[in-house]
């Protein structure tokens, strides 16, 4: 578990539970908290100078998303990466994002195309700088923006929750040679499909992108992840 919580200052005007949830979720998804790592609720509460209650509530919310395992007599750990969880995340994300892309076609404008292209350029610059955490955040901005173009902005929240297991693999896969270039190339294809006016081509471009991402996640899961619990 990371030990930097003592330096974090929570906003006392906002929900403690929600802030701690965001903090822990980000660390689990980005790999700062690795699969099977112990999550010490008492230590987190002490370092953040809060009671155990909001920490416990945040952990419960993470457990509901299958990002944390709370085992009686064994404590709390970050959930291992699991093939079944990964598959379910992929199926949900694929269905929702294909629909998002198809719906966006009818609403595309030159401004939308320009904004997507700018996100693509920003993504490329971050990859060149090896700033992978912000590169993945910009990747998400690209997909979120498509949901906004489609006039289905609430769709993104459902996608964001469901894709967390995939994101854990993405943060480990992106530094691998060729992964970043392939992602950028797929995003270019998605932009071309959105600009082309054919919803089915937009669906197909998004499906190709997400299918490859899932295949990479599976390969990573089988070869590199889920170290044994300590």
CATH code for position 102: 1.20.120.530
61 φψ region: left (φ > 0), alpha (ψ -120 to 50), beta (else): alpha
Asked whether residue 126 falls in the same domain as residue 183, the answer is: yes
Asked whether residue 70 falls in the same domain as residue 125, the answer is: no
Of 54, 78, 102, the residue that ends a domain is 78
Number of domains in the chain: 2
Asked whether residue 137 falls in the same domain as residue 98, the answer is: yes
Q: Is residue 175 part of a domain?
A: yes
Of 131, 145, 130, give the one whose Cα is nearest residue 187.
145
Asked whether residue 146 falls in the same domain as residue 129, the answer is: yes
Query: What confidence score (pLDDT) does residue 170 get?
Result: 81
β-strand 75-78 against 68-71: which pairing, if any?
antiparallel
Q: What is the Cα–Cα distance from 223 to 31, expressed in whole angstroms?
A: 16
Per DSSP, which regions of 86-147 are E strands? Answer: none
Asked whether residue 73 falls in the same domain as residue 87, the answer is: no
Ranges of residues in the chain with a pLDDT under 70 are 1-4, 173-177, 224-230
Q: What is the Cα–Cα distance from 129 to 145, expressed in whole angstroms?
A: 23
Query: What confidence score (pLDDT) does residue 224 get?
Result: 60
Asked whether residue 97 falls in the same domain as residue 196, the answer is: yes
Rounded to two decimals, the pTM is 0.84
Asked whether residue 30 falls in the same domain as residue 57, the answer is: yes
| Cα 190 to Cα 19, 111, 150, distances in angstroms | 34, 16, 14
Query: What confidence score (pLDDT) does residue 212 get?
Result: 92
Query: What confidence score (pLDDT) does residue 225 get?
Result: 52
């Amino acid at each position: 578990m990371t030990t930097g919580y003592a330096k974090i200052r929570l906003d006392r005007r906002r929900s403690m539970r929600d802030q701690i949830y965001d903090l822990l979720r980000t660390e689990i998804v980005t790999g700062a908290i690795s699969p099977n790592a112990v999550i010490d609720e008492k230590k987190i509460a002490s370092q953040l100078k809060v009671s155990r209650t909001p920490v416990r509530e945040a952990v419960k919310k993470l457990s509901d998303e299958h990002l944390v395992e709370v085992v009686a007599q064994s404590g709390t750990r970050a959930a291992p990466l699991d093939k079944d969880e990964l598959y379910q995340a992929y199926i949900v994300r694929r269905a929702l994002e294909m629909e998002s892309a198809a719906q966006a076609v009818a609403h595309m404008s030159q401004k939308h195309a320009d904004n997507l292209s700018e996100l693509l350029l920003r993504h490329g610059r971050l990859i060149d700088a090896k700033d992978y955490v912000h590169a993945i955040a910009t990747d998400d901005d690209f997909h979120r923006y498509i949901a906004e173009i489609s006039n289905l902005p609430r769709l993104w929240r459902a996608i964001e929750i469901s894709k967390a297991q995939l994101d854990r693999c993405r943060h480990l896969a992106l530094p691998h040679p060729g992964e970043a270039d392939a992602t950028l190339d797929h995003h270019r294809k998605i932009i071309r499909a959105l600009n082309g006016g054919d919803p089915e081509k937009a669906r197909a471009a998004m499906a190709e992108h997400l299918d490859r991402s899932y295949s990479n996640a599976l390969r990573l899961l089988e070869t590199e992840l889920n170290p044994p619990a300590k």
